[in-house]
Structure 1
Amino acid sequence: MSDPRLSLLSTDELLRSIVGKVTEIRAREYAVMQDIAELNRRGAAAELGYKTLPQVLRHALRWDNQTAKRWVDQAVLLSSEITPTGSEITPALPVTAAAAAEGALSLDHVAAVAEAMKNLPAEVENLVVECARDHEPAAVRAFGKDLAYGLYQNDPEPRDPEPAPEGNRLTLRQNKTGDWKLAATLDALTGAKFATLLDPLAKPRPATEEGPDPRSLDERQGDALAELIDLMLRADQLPEHGGEPVTLTLTMAYQDLAEQVGHAVLDNGERVPADQVRQLACTAGIIPMVMGGRSQPLDVGRRSRLFTAGIRRALVARDHGCAFPGCHRPPKHCDAHHIHHWADGGDTRIDNGVLLCRHHHTLIHRSGWEVTIEQGAPVFYPPAWLDPLRKPRRNLLHTAA
């Protein structure tokens, strides 16, 4: 039966209660892992006649083998070791262990941090754990990958180089019924161009009296390709993103481009080597973006209610996608949001705008989340039920590298 006292709590109080209880559960899970680590240290499996400790836990706790092995692996990572001489060796992930003891991390978070740290030096564990304190495990894994790329992008190539890309291939066949079957393999840059063209045409149609768009994603993309072919035949009409013709935006420091080092980043986060960027500069239209001293795009466009194409390009250069903490959606899936609402007197300019995906745009309008621009970058403040101290947060996924 439900507790009648719960109905007396406000929604914020109820959410704070849930957060507090889950924190207690996570702290207790850490205590259980310490017990498991002690069983492992004393060789309990052999003492009890089992081959491995996970087998013991399977019978004792009715866990499946995968769950039992996961608990043992994480217990070893988060516990100290005692040498035969009595010396204590700190845990493999000491910062993670401290956060788990507080109840700040779940088992999934610990697994995500451990996965990320396989490719990172111990000195950055605190950065990965800070990300885990604020975001879900999937975001921690993405942050770890970007952080590793940023740290090692200039290292020598490994001894076993990655397989060479297959290049662009297209198979097009007509069957006996007259329909065409198509299969393609595209390199990263060509695939990004194609996805950029296809995306605005593949969005679900607005809901009508008959209900929402019934087509699956594959059906929408098939119809979008058919429409794209018609558009190309008409040549003077192209799909748009943010009020301007489809454009691939590459962000790169000018000095790196001039010296042919480093890489540029596409809207979707794909990295393009400097030599390919220089080739694009010769064969494609490049829109110059004047950057400030802190690599912040300067104000462009004119005052209006809607964000102009010029201002949107500047927001893309600054935010690189949805600016909400932990969101990885690329710019083409984002709206430009007025921080100080236009209807309330807010100006349409870069320092009053932020890119948000449709989900987080709705969330900002309807929830207790707040966003400001501080030192030229979007900063978000969570509602009090999520964090009573309302600690500021930023999206590290777009800036880790």
Structure 2
Amino acid sequence: MRFLLSTIGSRGEAQPVTALAVRLRELGNDVEVVAPPDFEELVTGNGIGFTPVGPNLRTATAVKTTPDDLRRLVEESVREQFRVVTRAADRADVLVAGGALQHATRSVAESIGAHYVYASFCANTLPSPHHAPPAMLGRVPVNGTPEDNLAQWDRHRHYFTSSRDTLNAERAKLGLAPIDDVRDHIFGDSPWLAADPVLGPWPGPGDLVQTGAWLLDDHRPLSPDLEAFLDDGEPPVYFGLGSMRGTPDMASQAVEAARELGRRVVLQRGWADLELTDDAKDCITIGEVNQQALFRRTAAIVHHGGAGTTTTAAAAGRPQVVLPHMYDQYYWGSQVERLNIGRSATAVTAEVLAEALGLTEEAAEVATQVRTDGARAAAERLMALQFD
């Protein structure tokens, strides 16, 4: 079978999509991934065909935009997605949209008669009366009654409205009828949830396909400098914000909090280019790293609350401190609190870090329950679609 997997998100979406692609290829399928150019090495390094879409995210997200700029960028993104996905989907049997704002994938699947699957990486990005929508454009919804939550989901449709005219113009070029509700069109009739059922269970209503998180096996060795640092003392505290635009103050606060507790620090630069303020030997700065290997050798993990990092930290059995910035990260912070495997906070303090470190046993217990076969389960289920 031929599969096209598409995302326009950051590494938190590109990495699980790549994990699924790897499993599909292992099962003998032809697979292509469409993703932002930032992730070409990630995809091709795993032996998967790659087609870039849109701008380089690391550069684009560093530029502040006005509301008018944002509307223009959305229109450009929709047109670009249709152009790229239409070309890449030639003869595909199944098209999978990984994550939000996948405006073109379902329409292209419809135009060529292929199966379409929308996959979310977090339960609270799918409508339910049991949780509020994710944070959008700086607004952080708060969970309320089922009626309150449904009202918030109704308002959530507004974020997709600005793309409707452009989307319908592109559908017309494919000979397709216009659609009215962009969000529900993207989600489809039977969305999948690629999240761990212990960390992020689907609350209902009804059942949906929850495969478990799509984890990419990482066999990269740690650098000699990092190995030497880890071997030279007690397990350190990890601090990293991934693709978030953190500030130097956040890094210095984390280092200060760890030092108050007599802990060393591994600081990942990330897209914020975080750096240490001194050259003391109790800290080390690193770049891109095998988190699966590193996290198992830490005392605690301080991070932004992305789905992938939260799951990797949980699977490593280490307590977490989540510093949410946007979208689903507030949800993951609340799930870490619910399971009592860490804390969610606006800043790292010695008190918050000490509380998290006190949950080491709880974190180790939850780690035994985290699934690691989600990508394989999803791949096998996708292959079964030909028999539906």
TM-score bracket, normalised by the shorter chain, equals under 0.3
The structure with the larger Rg is 1
Give the structure-2-normalised TM-score: 0.21
Q: Looking at both structures, which has the greater relative contact order when contacts are Cα pairs under 8 Å and sequence separation is at least 6?
A: 2
